[in-house]
Amino acid sequence: MSEAVQPRTVLASSDSAPEGRARVAIQKVGRFLSGMVLPNIGAFIAWGLITALFIPTGWFPNESLATLVGPMIKYLLPLLIGYTGGKMVHDTRGGVIGAVGTMGVVIGTDIPMFLGAMIMGPLSAWVLKQFDRAVEGKIRSGFEMLVNNFSSGIIGGLLAIGAYAGIGPVVESINKVLASGVEFLVNHHLIPLANILIEPGKVLFLNNAINHGVLGPIALEQSSATGKSLLFMLESNPGPGILLAYWVFGRGMVKQSATGAIIIHFLGGIHEIYFPYILMNPRLILAVIGGGVTGTAVFSLTGAGLVATPSPGSIFAYIAMTPKGGYISMLSGVLAAAAVSFLLASLLLKTSRQTAEGDLESATEKMKRMKAESKGQPAASVASPAASAVTAAPASGVKKSKAEVAKIVFACDAGMGSSAMGATILRKKLGQAKANVKVINTAIGEIPDDADIVITHRSLTDRARLKVSTAEHISIDDFLRAAEYDELVRRLGNTDSDS
């Protein structure tokens, strides 16, 4: 069997296996949960900064400004999650009723109701969506606004009452059980064992689900009570030990690429950058597990914690979210995780039968397939060079002329990670070519209507085309190294090399 066919056969068999289907199902749920949180990360950071600065133990204690902390975590943040979850299900109309339903669980309990918001936001929007489908085409002309407004008001009110009386207390009980379990692990110094599950889960693209869907809600409740939480640090530790090992012991392209990957991971907080390096040599999962367990153990023993979610998981975010007096314990855990994962990865690389140079391109392609699956997209097979040439063409099939292009939009799921890196790279290239073109990045669901060119990973292009059909769409495989960037620069630049 040829090398071009074998990966497709393996992929098909893995997808059909029960464990493959289970992994994709978990990824879909995790993607939905994290999708409710990621657009609101700025609000969480704002709350974290206000908490770190103005509470009695903060850097600049201020009794008046500290009064913002309680209402923000009890009302603002859950309502934002509920609105976002509802909007994901039924657009703005779903967002509004999602917030109304969420208010029921917020008022019906005494704790920050993030889990309740993740339930009531989408559930409320789904109920309204079913009603809208049932009455579609049956409303007499002229009464549409009346029916729409009163239906959402009546259904929203009933859902809020139901959430207040029923769902809120149930979720509060579940939350208390989860919190008690976490407290048990912390008190018995067992919390580092969580990284045995967390680290492999990250490589399977469950990182956002783990961080924002599971750990985040419990951590925020702990932070509101004690001013910090260790749980914020379990998944997001930015220690780049694996990449350091490849930088020291790798060869060829792997060694060269590791340098930039370290910067993107440690400073930029984009953890997906190191996943291909592990997929290239799966034994290295032991190194990240060892580093994760060590870092969390140091955090636990030294009493480390952050006041809010460090997103993205950058050392700068860690510094910003660390409470007063907590920097030594925070840095100790990050450095310990990096040191242990570096030592273990170095040992595994030196004793591996594989070369330290590895096959980064194949591992990256495998990562792209896994990421596509995690986003609910069909996993792309390994294409031949001829097929690659076809996918490199604009997905819309129509190139816009230089005079027609004023705005280029990079889009990814959250609009903060890979698309931001791609936009920065192209913006710099176009600036050097003196091209007067605006380049921005955004979430796939928020692509502006005036976009002239939209650049996405090929697994997202169909969704982007549905969002803005009039734009030229370009599919790429790698936001960091795309040949399409240079082709755009030649098309749009104002240098002597223009074609």
For residue 354, what pLDDT is reported? Answer: 53
For residue 208, what pLDDT is reported? Answer: 63
Q: How far apart are CA 439 and CA 198, in angstroms?
A: 35
CATH number of 386-492: 3.40.50.2300
Handedness of CA 410, 425, 478, 364 (dihedral sign): negative
Q: Confidence class of residue 496 from pLDDT cuts 50, 70 and 90? A: low
Considering 8-17, 394-403, 436-445, the range whose residues carry the highest mean pLDDT is 436-445
Q: How far apart are CA 460 and CA 462, in angstroms?
A: 6
Q: At which residue do the structure tokens 């910090």 appear? A: 228
The answer to whether residue 412 is catalytic is: yes
Q: Confidence class of residue 3 from pLDDT cuts 50, 70 and 90? A: very low
Give all strands (DSSP E) within 91-227, no chain letters.
Answer: none
Which residues have CB under 8 Å from 75's CB, separation 6+?
106
Task: Work out the average pLDDT over 401-428.
Answer: 82
Say whether pLDDT at 129 is over 90: yes
Catalytic residue among 45, 412, 433, 482: 412
∠ at Cα 155 (153, 160), nearest 5°?
A: 90
Say whether pLDDT at 341 is over 50: yes
Q: Confidence class of residue 353 from pLDDT cuts 50, 70 and 90? A: low
Q: Confidence class of residue 181 from pLDDT cuts 50, 70 and 90? A: confident
For residue 383, what pLDDT is reported? Answer: 39
Q: Confidence class of residue 273 from pLDDT cuts 50, 70 and 90? A: confident
| % residues pLDDT > 90 (the chain) | 24
Say whether pLDDT at 10 is over 80: no
- Structure-block tokens of residue 51: 């908490």
Q: How far apart are CA 132 and CA 147, in angstroms?
A: 10
Residue among 488, 494, 498 at smallest CA distance from 433: 494
Who wins on pLDDT, 261 or 409? 409
Rg (CA), the chain: 24
Do residues 277 and 219 lie in contact, with contact meaning Cβ atoms separated by under 8 Å?
A: no
Q: At which residue do the structure tokens 């799921």 appear? A: 413
For residue 388, what pLDDT is reported? Answer: 37
pTM score: 0.60
Residue among 169, 180, 43 at smallest CA distance from 106: 169
Which amino acid belongs to residue 171?
A: V
For residue 162, what pLDDT is reported? Answer: 93
* Other beta carbons less than 10 A from residue 355's beta carbon: 13
Do residues 297 and 261 lie in contact, with contact meaning Cβ atoms separated by under 8 Å?
A: no
Domain residue limits, the chain: 386-492
